[in-house]
Amino acid sequence: MKPIQVKIKSGSHTYPVHIGSGLIANLETLLHETILSHRPFIISNQLVWKLHGQAIGRAIPSAETILIPDGERYKRQQTVDYIYDELIRAGADRHAVLIAVGGGVIGDIAGYAAATFLRGLSLVHVPTTLLAQVDSSIGGKVGINHKLGKNLIGAFHPPRLVVIDPQLLDTLPRREFRAGLYEVIKYGMIASPTLFKKLDRELTAVFNHEPRALMSIITKCCRIKASIVQSDERETGLRRVLNFGHTVGHAIESATKYRRFRHGEAVAFGMLAAASIAESRGEFSATDCDELGALIRRLGPLPSSNDLSIKQIINTIKQDKKIIQGKLHFVLPTGVGLTTIVEDVTSKQIERALKQLGMRN
């Protein structure tokens, strides 16, 4: 299939998102077309590098590589400090460009390092997971976790280039691939009934990594996110809808110390909780709620949540970065493809929804 390009306007520049099978082979050409003066440093981890390092190395042989530990629990300041150390030892200057090769965690860490080292380096994303390809590599949000909450430390630092190659997904374990599909469901729920139904209809083809099916859903998600972030780059209004499922989802990740749940799985629980709250408030029909639950179940079983503490999750939500002037901004669905942002969701409503998901008091 012919590669597709989506252009995204940020406050500082416009950057291209290239989507196409086999694009990794053209990485150096795309880099030179976008960033004229650069010294490339690849940020990745051992697992990703074992799978894709040879191909990336052939594509951009001049790049220097910095490998960091794998896992959400390493999305912290110590890891960023290690990147700083390696850049300083290598004599990196402001012409350096950081190329994040990996999933959302790599993108967030490398992006935060790029935003803060020497007051800002150029950033390129080469996402290797479905979740990163449809969501986290686009929009300029970068950051790290704090012991008291997820993504509490960060910046808005748009990339100069995003290169999405669906062939990189062939090495993903099924669970990781499925975790990305929960984010696709999110995009259908917040903006596109067509995407929601398409995923439901073509799920087998998507799981089989059929190029046309994969390209279609990845491109649709990228275009939805591009439209949203161009309208509200710094999340003062419209962009908040991208947090659908993330209020409860982030709390679940934080409460389990980022070890048990993939991000997409936690978001799936968060979407189910938000749907339950919206239905109980009369803002979301039982039919739509059942349709969302059915599609989530079609992807496969979510990890058990029966031992999670409702009290701990609610306490973690109270430290959420989406609390503004003491009010929690909660994204609720009002239909497939429609959401609203409210400020009056109560702890009792959240508790009731978490009980329905099988969590304990």
Q: CB of 361 within 8 A of CB of 314? A: no
Strand 149-156 to strand 141-146: parallel, antiparallel, or no bridges (unpaired)? Answer: antiparallel
Please confirm, yes or no, whether 223 is among the known catalytic residues.
no
Identify the active-site residue in 89, 119, 212, 259: 119
Please confirm, yes or no, whether 86 is among the known catalytic residues.
no
Please confirm, yes or no, whether 263 is among the known catalytic residues.
yes
Identify the active-site residue in 243, 253, 265, 279: 243
Please confirm, yes or no, whether 235 is among the known catalytic residues.
yes
Tokens at 233, concatenated: 């780059």
Please confirm, yes or no, whether 240 is among the known catalytic residues.
no
| CA 198/CA 213 separation, integer angstroms | 9
Closest to 43 in 3D by CA, of 30, 53, 54, 51: 53
Identify the active-site residue in 75, 125, 141, 220: 141
35 Cβ partners below 8 Å, 6+ apart? Answer: 97, 122, 124, 160, 161
| CA 108/CA 127 separation, integer angstroms | 11
DSSP 115: H
Tokens at 147, concatenated: 């012991």
Identify the active-site residue in 239, 240, 262, 279: 239
3-state SS of 141-197 is EEEEEECCEEEEEEEECCCCEEEECHHHHHHCCHHHHHHHHHHHHHHHHHHCHHHHH
Quickly count: other Cβ atoms within 10 Å of residue 275's Cβ. Answer: 26
| CA 345/CA 282 separation, integer angstroms | 13
Identify the active-site residue in 145, 240, 263, 279: 263
Please confirm, yes or no, whether 225 is among the known catalytic residues.
yes
C-alpha distance across the termini of the chain, in Å: 51
Identify the active-site residue in 150, 250, 262, 279: 250
| CA 319/CA 142 separation, integer angstroms | 19
Identify the active-site residue in 75, 150, 220, 246: 246
Please confirm, yes or no, whether 243 is among the known catalytic residues.
yes
Identify the active-site residue in 72, 86, 183, 279: 183
Which residue type, as a one-letter code, is found at position 234?
Answer: R
Catalytic annotation, residues: 119, 141, 183, 225, 235, 239, 243, 246, 250, 263
